[in-house]
Amino acid sequence: MSDVAVRLTVNGRVRDGRCPPRRLLVDFLREDLGLTGTHVGCEHGICGACTVLLDGEAARSCLMLAVQADGAEILTIEGLMKDGALHPLQEAFREHHALQCGFCTPGMLMTALDLLRVKPEPTEADVREGLSAVLCRCTGYHGIVKAVQAAAPRMRTGQRRPA
Ligand code: FES
Ligand code: FES
């Protein structure tokens, strides 16, 4: 089957490409656009490592075809830093030791961003439930939950809006 054109706005920049119709969005991001910050784990929608924001909402990029995302706005982990400064959520992850190997971290951060968009003042239970869609094999989640709770007020008070 011949390649098809795909146009996405990724991290604020229009990106054009051509790919087979069955190419996964995560493969398009990583291999065609070189944005390898989005990780691939299970490729079955279970682990959450591949989570990106698609038109502002968390989405598993291993469960979508690139052509299905044609015309969408995508935010990946590469789009979080601004002007050389970490996003407040990234800062909080660093402060609270919320990562070890880092494999889950991009998906965890993008999922947390979506959670804080929907629930700007989450309880600990909200955070635990919201992040339960992303698997971490290293941290035991404690530092991750603390980091998201620490980032929430900073984002509400305007250090940085949820992306
Ligand atoms: S790689 Fe997409 S959910 Fe695991
Ligand atoms: S930090 Fe290693 S899987 Fe989460």
C-alpha–C-alpha distance, residues 42 and 8, integer Å: 24
User: Rounded to the nearest whole angstrom, what is the distance from the C-alpha of residue 29 to the centroid of ligand 1?
Assistant: 14
Q: Which ligand is nearest to the CA of 141?
A: 2
C-alpha–C-alpha distance, residues 98 and 138, integer Å: 10
Conformation bin of residue 84: beta by default, left when phi > 0, alpha when psi is -120 to 50: left
Residue 157: the pLDDT is 84
Closest protein CA for atom 3 of ligand 1: 45
Q: Is the dihedral of CA 102, 31, 61, 6 positive or negative?
A: positive
Residue 160: the pLDDT is 56
User: Rounded to the nearest whole angstrom, what is the distance from the C-alpha of residue 1 to the centroid of ligand 1?
Assistant: 26
End-to-end CA separation in angstroms for the chain: 36
Residue 159: the pLDDT is 61
**Nearest atom of ligand 1 to the alpha carbon of 47:** 4
Residue 1: the pLDDT is 76
Closest protein CA for atom 4 of ligand 2: 136
User: Rounded to the nearest whole angstrom, what is the distance from the C-alpha of residue 101 to the centroid of ligand 2?
Assistant: 5
User: Rounded to the nearest whole angstrom, what is the distance from the C-alpha of residue 132 to the centroid of ligand 1?
Assistant: 13
Task: Encode the chain (163 residues) as per-residue pLDDT tens digits.
Answer: 799 999 999 999 999 999 999 999 999 999 999 999 999 999 999 999 999 999 999 999 999 999 999 999 999 999 999 999 999 999 999 999 999 999 999 999 999 999 999 999 999 999 999 999 999 999 999 999 999 999 999 999 876 545 5
Ligand 1 touching residue 49 (CB < 6 A): yes
Residue 68: the pLDDT is 98
C-alpha–C-alpha distance, residues 162 and 89, integer Å: 9
Residue among 47, 134, 136 whose CB has most ligand 2 atoms within 8 A, to mutate: 136
For 11, phi then psi, to 5°, come to 55, 40
